[in-house]
Structure 1
Amino acid sequence: MPQPSLSVVIPAFNEAGNLPLLVDEVIAALRGRVDFELIVVDDHSTDDTLAVLQAAKARHPELRVLTHATQSGQSTGLRTGIRAARAPWMATLDGDGQNDPADLPKLLAARDAGPADVKLYAGWRVNRQDTGSKKWASKWANGIRSRLLRDATPDTGCGTKLFERAAFLELPWFDHMHRYLPALMQRAGWRTVSVPVNHRPRGAGQSKYTNLGRALVGIRDLIGVAWLIKRNRLTDVRELA
């Protein structure tokens, strides 16, 4: 296979009911448009996730499958896939199928038309297909995060993202850091852009998060990210001729 210019990374835990269609949709959205690889990171699933990925791998040469020896969480799954990726740019999707792979060409077009200092194109779910309580919790959390971090991002929880691999690997890593990528990229001196994307109902299985669980973890992480931003120092560097 040629060296890919795009690596799509999908972290997944117990998503056997969603992954076969999701993999097929990614392939359909990108094959013939860009040289790419698709990396699915199985987070030590207890269902048939590995079996369905093995079957999908037989159909699609672009697919690579990595698996964790222990369950390690979504941020670790993303980091595993990104560290193993061969392309300079990463696209990410959640494993539950709610993100639409058909939006990936839109993000690539936004990148190609954008300035070089934009290193993250973040999906913005303008028509959320979630329960009322989940949408309310997300709106509340986004409001608090936006006021505290001032990241000018309406939706950091969307799994649909496109970003430069090298820029991501320079960011401070911690569990759940995937929810703060715009603020962390801006802290590193890069610009970020939000792009409206589609959002779909979950096709099978159940969410791995609860509103309370997200809130308890989110408060602690929000304080930590705010501290990182406050303690940051950026400066231009010149080398004498």
Structure 2
Amino acid sequence: MNTARTATPDVSIVVPIYNEFDNLTDLVERIAQAMAQQALTFELLTVDDGSTDGSVDKLRELAATRAWLRPVFLARNYGQSSALQAGFDRVRGRYVVTLDADLQNEPDDIPLLLQRLETDHRVDMVSGWRKDRQDAELSRKLPSRIANWLISRSTGVYLHDYGCALKAYRRPIIDRIRLYGELHRFIPSLAKEAGARITEVPVRHHARTRGVSKYGIDRTFRVILDLVLIVFFMRYRQRPLHAFGGLGLWLIAPGSLILLWLLVEKFMGHAIGGRPLLLAGMVLVLVGAQLVVAGLIGEMLMRIYHEAGNKPQFHAEEYQADTAAAPVQPAPAVTEIVA
């Protein structure tokens, strides 16, 4: 298939790349073969994230004879989230597919995900599930299982496999989310926040045969920190006062009771100046008050973000009747009355 760059494709496939020189030729050919199995036109955006192994030259060479291949080159290594966002900023298709460049994802499964989006209009995102993972290293399997359980329980988006890069989306969902830091692991959670209806389908998985894995067990600790951010983002982004102010009130309440008790003790003639309880009460009240003020500042910042930045507070779509299926009713006759 040779989709011209001037035509608008049906599917945009985004692949972040970092030092995958040995896999690039097979990757591009296998994606082309997979997409030739169905009628949708496509483009392939390969986003090189500052590779140093010759991947840039190889992508230029491959793109010279393939109009549907659109390489994107980042100035340096920014990370997978930035590479994906660079691709998302350039997609043109009504469907967006992502997968890794290491060929552990099976390109022939792409039509499976697209078929689900085409036939089930209640679904906005299809996430791959590597049901039979071929990773031999316990250092990858164990952290992945822990992360999947922890993220599902914390965000309410229950998936077996958050780490599978093979996913398909309707374009409006991609347009509503922004990736930064290392939030690529939480795309399903961000998609849910953007209103996506998500499903999961089993896909094939292969052991890496070329190149070097970029993941290690240290990733688990970064996932936990990012998870804290995602949970806060999903629950309190539009009401930060409920987060900070609520915690502040929980501190102010016992602090106030302590100070009230000490005041009673003072009226009864007991010395309270050297009691540690006095310091504890004052600290609780002061810290609680600071948290309430932080929540108020957060509310003002959110108001500025939405009003001055013209950012929507919600996403909605209006019902459109299926004009192709519904019979067209003739317009009522109009009689013109001339005075």
1:108 to 97, 114, 120: 114
Q: Which residue of 1 aligns with 2:177?
A: 171
Please name the residue that 1:229 is paired with: 234
Q: Which residue of 2 aligns with 1:37?
A: 43
Quick one: structure 1 residues 208 and 188, their matched pair in 2 at CA, closer, same or farther if it must change by over 3 Å? same
The 2-side partners of 1:172 and 1:27 are apart by: 28
Q: Return the index of the structure with the highest Cα Rg.
A: 2
Q: Kindly indicate whether the alpha-carbon contact (under 8 Å) linking 2:140 and 2:215 is maintained by their aligned counterparts in 1.
A: no
- Deviation digits for residues 181-219 of structure 1 (CA, Å, limit 9, x no counterpart): 11111122221011110111112111112111x112111
- 1:159 matched to 2:157? The reply is no
Aligned to 2:279: none
Higher relative contact order (CA 8 A, sep 6+): 1
Tell me the SS of whatever aligns to 1:193: strand
Following superposition, the deviation at residue 105 of structure 1 comes to 0.5
CA RMSD of aligned residues (A): 1.9
Identity rate of aligned residues, in percent?
35
Deviates more, 1:106-115 or 1:20-29: 106-115
TM norm structure 2: 0.66
For structure 1, the residue ranges without an aligned partner over 5 or more in a row are none
Out of 30, 42, 48, the position equivalent to 1:25 is 30
Alignment coverage as a number of residue pairs: 237
1:219 counterpart residue number: 224
Equivalent residues of 2:9, 2:43 under 8 A apart: yes
* One-letter code aligned to 1:13: Y
What residue ranges of structure 2 are gaps of 5+ in the alignment? Answer: 239-312, 319-339
For residue 124 of structure 1, what is the aligned residue in structure 2? Answer: 129
CA distance in 2, matches of 1:191, 1:71: 32
The farther-off stretch of 183-192 and 193-202 is: 183-192
Equivalent in the alignment of 2:68: 62
Do the aligned partners of residues 148 and 53 (structure 1) sit closer, same or farther apart at CA in structure 2, a change above 3 Å counting? same
- CA distance 1:80–1:172, shift in 2 (3 Å): closer
Higher helix share: 2
Alignment correspondent of 2:201: 195
Counterpart-to-counterpart distance in 2, 1:96 and 1:70: 20
TM-score by length of 1: 0.92
Distance 2:85 2:314 in 1: 27
1:6-25 aligned within 5 A = 6-25=11-30
More strand by share: 1
